[in-house]
Structure 1
Amino acid sequence: MTLDEFRDSLDAPAPPAGLSPALLGLWHQGKGDWEAAHVTVQDDDGADAAWVHAHLHRVEGDESNAGYWFRRAGKPHTKGDLGAEWAEMAGALLAQGR
């Protein structure tokens, strides 16, 4: 799936089948459902889910908590535009097949 296809899927009422927890979390966040996104990634111990978890706490405005999750993900604590960050993360995870 390409990033454009992933973005287009946000118009559907349900996510595409077979998404990883990290991508499913981004899908829910892309729909504006922070709670569903958070529930999706909070119990996954993987680095990809931790990366998305960090983004979600940035969206929430909790930079301290975001920093914790960026460290767990092994990623730098970014502070740029949230929409650009979402697209970067989705693109990277899709390119890796995750």
Structure 2
Amino acid sequence: MNLSKFKDSIQEGKMPEGLTVYLKSLWLDGNGDWTKAHGLIDQMEDEDAAFLHAYLHRKEGDIGNASYWYRRAGKTKPSIGLEQEWEQMVLYFLDQIKK
């Protein structure tokens, strides 16, 4: 799977099979369901989940909470737009499937 196919699946409203929890969360967010996207990773403790959690809170507009989660992930808040960050995260997590 690549970014284009991932985006196409969102437009079609059909989540692909075999996605990791991170990609499921990004898919749900891309499909407009922030609450379900957040619910999938809310209780996870790893750095990747913290990074995704940070993005979701940034998107929500809760910058203080987002900053906390970026620190937990060992990242700084990016200066790019939310759409670009979402795409970079999708690419990162798609690459993790290939490894």
In 2, Cα distance between equivalents of 1:84 and 1:59: 12
1:22 aligns with 2:22: yes
How large is the RMSD of aligned CA atoms in angstroms? 1.5
In 2, Cα distance between equivalents of 1:28 and 1:79: 23
Higher RCO structure (Cα 8 Å, ≥6 apart): 1
Residue 36 of structure 2 corresponds to: 36
Number of aligned positions between the proteins: 98
Pick closer, same or farther for the CA change 1:46–1:14 going to 2, 3 Å: farther
Pick closer, same or farther for the CA change 1:56–1:90 going to 2, 3 Å: same
In 2, Cα distance between equivalents of 1:86 and 1:29: 9
Q: Which moved more, 1:13-22 or 1:79-88?
A: 13-22
Task: Decide which structure has greater helix share.
Answer: 2
TM-score computed with the length of structure 1 as normaliser: 0.89
Residue 47 of structure 1 corresponds to: 47
How does 1:68-79 map onto structure 2 within 5 Å? 68-79=68-79
Shift of 1:30: 0.2
In 2, Cα distance between equivalents of 1:76 and 1:28: 24
Q: Which runs of 5+ in 2 are unaligned?
A: none
How does 1:53-64 map onto structure 2 within 5 Å? 53-64=53-64
In 2, Cα distance between equivalents of 1:27 and 1:47: 19
SS at match of 2:97: coil
Shift of 1:90: 0.6
In 2, Cα distance between equivalents of 1:61 and 1:96: 28
In 1, Cα distance between equivalents of 2:15 and 2:54: 21
Equivalent pairs: percent with the same residue? 44
